[in-house]
Structure 1
Amino acid sequence: MNIIDRFIAYTKINTTTNREKGAAGIMPSSDGQMVLAQKVAEELRTLGMEKVQVNERAIVTALLPSNVDYSLPTVAFFGHLDTSAEHSGDTHAQILPYSGGDLCLNKEKNIFLRQSEFPELANYIGDDLIVTDGTSLLGADDKAAIASIVNAVQYLIEHPEIKHGPVKVGFVPDEEQGLRGAKAFDVQAFGADFAYTLDCCGIGELVYENWNAGDAEIIFNGQSAHPMSAKGKLKNSLLMAHKFIAMLPGGEAPEYTEGREGYYWVKQMQGNSARTVLKMDVRDFTEQGYRQRMEFLGKLAENCAELWGEGSVVCNLADRYANVYNSLQGENRFPIDIALAAYQSCGIEPKVIPMRGGYDGAALSQKGLPCPNLFTGAHNFHSIYEYLPVKSLQAASKVVIEVIKQTHNRFAQGSAQ
């Protein structure tokens, strides 16, 4: 099976993450993720990989043994099974040639991928694009990664003349809900020395820096009263929450920031006059900046509680994941160098970017498995306008193969006898 057919076959399985089940601790949060896990595992067995396993959480692992008689480190590659909950409908993928201008995704519904909105389309004139009919996500986030990795394994098995050390793969569920699959992954039992996720955007992009991320839940406890006798008695928790939000630093929200600028994201508010719960995301690229933001929220809550009365404001702060950059310094930088060499060997210009989000490699790195992030080639994740240039998908798989070659070349010297 070629990589295009493989990817499109994966998109036909609906693996939308289920936030309600995820919040209840169920993993995988949707049945389709287990279906895809079993399908991919069977493909890996058919190809000839060893120790192929799927556990009850839909975590897939497998080994391609070394084909040399000297010791080399084990490199691993990861992708995630789930797709984002922004759209939950089945995917109807199609391959369309792109010659410039606007691309019609759905004539009946008048849905177009417009170059004025997505000017990077100009980079793919003359290429074929894998898109949807405009009614769902494509799911290249992250099924393009799975297709690229499986395709690379197939190529290595079909070309035994390529020398390589041990290669492992891991596919995990529910990345779209706070990296839950990666957080549940047993790094020690897996036994890799370093790894790469494929969970990024356009061709050439390389990530080894992401957010330090935290969650904030602020509970406002008011006092209800009938409006006819509310004077001096009613403490409206909704208004307390609004006043709290108004005291956040101006301009430090997602819609006003870019690059390495951190933010507070007011994400959800539910309640009534008696009790309101405010949920926020806190993000910063530096450890110091992140800690300052979390401390600011805690102090603001304390000050408001002093103003509005004891127990009126309760602030719960929790860390979600750390910047992967913290785990890729010093002697752990070599996975970055290998990736850069692989890009160069493939004739791809590296575009090193800070990811304004999280990815499974952040959680895996915190567990002791250094893990930069490679591109899949797709654009417009979490959108009905998601698209995947065919040449970019093919390039992603070639980079995986080249990383394996570069790993051999880097460590074989001095190992071979």
Structure 2
Amino acid sequence: MDIVDRFISYTKINTTTDRDKGAAGIMPSSEGQRVLANKVADELRALGLVDVQVSDRAIVTATLASNVDYPLPAVAFFGHLDTSAEQTNDTKAQILPYKGGDLCLNAEKQIFLRQSEFPELSDYIGDDIIVTDGTSLLGADDKAAIASIVNTIQYLLAHPEIKHGPVKVGLVPDEEQGLRGSKVFDVKSFGADFAYTLDCCGIGELVYENWNAGDAEIIFTGQSAHPMSAKGKLKNSLLMAHKFISMLPGGEAPEYTDGREGYYWVKQMQGNSAKTVLKMDVRDFTEEGYLRRMKFLATLAEGCAALWGEESIECKLADRYANVFNSLQGDSAYPIDIAVQAYRNLGIEPKVTPMRGGYDGAALSQNGLPCPNIFTGAHNFHSIYEYLPVKSLRAASDVLVEVVKLTHDRFASGDKA
């Protein structure tokens, strides 16, 4: 099957992550993810892979055995099954030739992919572009990854002259809910030595830095009172929460930062005068900066407790995931080197990009599997304007094949991981 047909077949399965079920601990959070997991597993078996498994959580693992008689490290490729919850409609993918200017997604509803809003479109003049009809996500995040991975396995099986060690496949659910699938993935039994996720953007982008990420939950406890007798008695937890927010560093929020600048993100506040719960994201690229931010919140809460009483405020801090770069230094940096060389061998200039978010490789790396992030070729993730140039999709699979070749050449010559 051609990679484009394969990708479009995946988009027809609605795998929108379900945040309510995810919060309840259900995995996968949506049944469509299990349907896609079984479909891909069947395709891998049909290609000739024997070691293909689907867990009760819809985690797919598979192995293409080495075709040489000497030991080589096992390289793995990962994608995620779910799509973001921003849009829940079924995808109606279409392939449109792009000749420049605005691209009409839906004539009836007058929905256009406008070059003025997305100037990078000019890089794809003359290419075919896969889009939706403007009423849903495309789901290239991350079905383009799955199509690329399966296409790579198909290509390697069709070309046995390409020498390679073990090549492993991992597909996980519910990435869009804090990397839930990769956090429970059994890295040890999987048996890979290093890995790559495909969960990034335009052609050439390469990610091996992301946030050190944490969650903060601040609980404010006040004292309710009837307004006719509230003087000296009412202690409004909502106002306490607002005062706490006002003491956060000015300008250190997502809407004021970019690049490697960290932030505090006030994401949710719910309550009444008696009790209010404030939830925040804490992000920083450096371990030192992350720890400083978490300590600041704890210290601020302690100061507020001294003013309002210890029973008035409770600060709960938790780590979510670490910067993948923490696991890709020194002797563990070789996956980056291999990826960079694979790009260049194909005439693709690497665009090293710090990711202002998380991806499955962060959790996998933290659990002992070094894992940079390779492009899928898609743009505008989590948007009805998500699009995927066909040449970029093909290039993503070409990079994976080149990674496999380079892994053989590097380690067959005696280099050590």
TM-score (norm 1): 0.99
Partner of 1:140: 140
Look up the match of 1:2. Answer: 2
For 1:221 and 1:102, the matched residues in 2 are separated by 53
Query: 2: CA distance between counterparts of 1:60 and 1:182?
Result: 11
Give the distance between the partners of 1:224 and 1:148, measured in 2 at CA. Answer: 58
Amino acid at match of 1:35: V
**Cα offset, 1:50, TM superposition:** 2.3
Give runs of ≥4 in structure 1 deviating > 4 Å: none
1:108-257 pair list within 5 angstroms: 108-257=108-257
Is the 8 Å Cα contact of residues 83 and 176 (structure 1) preserved in structure 2? yes
SS of structure 1 residue aligned to 2:5:
helix
Residue in 1 aligned with 2:62?
Answer: 62
1:181-216 CA-to-partner distances (Å, cap 9, x unmatched) read: 000000000000000000000000001111000000
- Deviations 1:69-107 (Å, cap 9, x if unpaired)? 111110000000000111111111111111111111111
- For 1:76, the equivalent position in structure 2 comes to 76
Aligned to 1:340: 340
Q: CA RMSD in A?
A: 0.8
Distance 1:71 1:282, change over 3 A: same
| TM-superposed deviation, 1:119 | 0.8
Match of 2:361 in 1: 361
CA contact (8 A) 1:148 1:396 kept: yes
Letter of the 2:83 partner, please give it. Answer: T
Deviations 1:367-414 (A, max 9, x none): 111100000000000111100000000000000000000001101114
Residues in 1 aligned to 2:375 and 2:229: alpha-carbon distance in whole angstroms = 62
- Specify the alignment match of 1:390 in structure 2: 390
- Unpaired segments ≥5 residues, structure 2: none
AA matched with 2:275: R
- Which residue number in structure 2 is paired with residue 103 of structure 1? 103
Query: Matched residues in 1 for 2:74 and 2:161: separation?
Result: 19
Q: In 2, are the aligned partners of 1:50 and 1:65 still within 8 Å (CA)?
A: no
Alpha-carbon separation, structure 1, partners of 2:9 and 2:18? 21
Partner residue in 2 for 1:42: 42
Which residue identity does 1:374 align to in structure 2? I
Give % identity. Answer: 82
Comparing 303-312 and 371-380, the one that deviates more: 303-312
Whole-Å Cα distance in 2 between the matches of residues 337 and 135 of structure 1? 40
Aligned residues: 415
How far apart, CA to CA, are the structure 2 residues paired with 1:102 and 1:414?
52
SS in 2 for 1:357: coil
Deviation at 1:229, TM superposition (A): 1.6
**Matching residue's letter, 2:377:** G
Distance across 2 between alignment mates of 1:49 and 1:289? 45
2:380 partner SS: coil
Deviations 1:125-183 (A, max 9, x none): 11111111111111000000000000010000011111111100000000001101000
Letter of the 1:185 counterpart: F
Correspondence for 2:411: 411
- Tell me the amino acid that sits aligned with residue 54 of structure 1: V
The one-letter amino acid of 1:224's match is: S
Matches within 5 A, 1:315-326: 315-326=315-326
The alignment partner of 1:79 has SS state of strand
Distance 2:234 2:391 in 1: 63
Give TM-score scaled by structure 2 length: 0.99
By how many angstroms is 1:310 displaced? 2.2
Secondary structure at 2:39 match in 1: helix
Give the residue type in structure 1 aligned to 2:184.
A
Rounded Cα–Cα distance in structure 2 between residues aligned with 1:364 and 1:219:
32
Shift of 1:233: 1.1
Whole-Å Cα distance in 1 between the matches of residues 300 and 310 of structure 2? 14
Partner of 2:265, secondary structure, is: strand
Deviation at 1:220, TM superposition (A): 0.7
CA distance in 2, matches of 1:414, 1:4: 38
Q: Which SS does the other structure have where 1:295 is aligned?
A: helix
Q: 1:277-309 deviations in whole A, cap 9, x for unaligned?
A: 100000000000000000000111111111112
Q: Secondary structure at the match of 2:318?
A: strand
Q: Which amino acid aligns with 1:247?
A: M
Secondary structure at 1:341's aligned position in 2? helix
Say yes or no: does 1:292 pair with 2:276. Answer: no
Q: 1:264 and 1:326 mapped to 2: Cα distance?
A: 21
2-structure distance, mates of 1:193, 1:214 = 27
Query: Structure 2 CA distance, aligned partners of 1:384 and 1:228?
Result: 52
Alignment CA distance shift 1:292-1:414 (3 Å): closer
1:49-70 C-alpha deviation (Å, 9 max, x unpaired): 1210000000000000011111
Moved more, 220-229 or 375-384: 220-229
Return the alpha-carbon distance in structure 2 between the equivalents of residues 187 and 299 of structure 1.
36
* 1:108 shift after superposition: 1.1
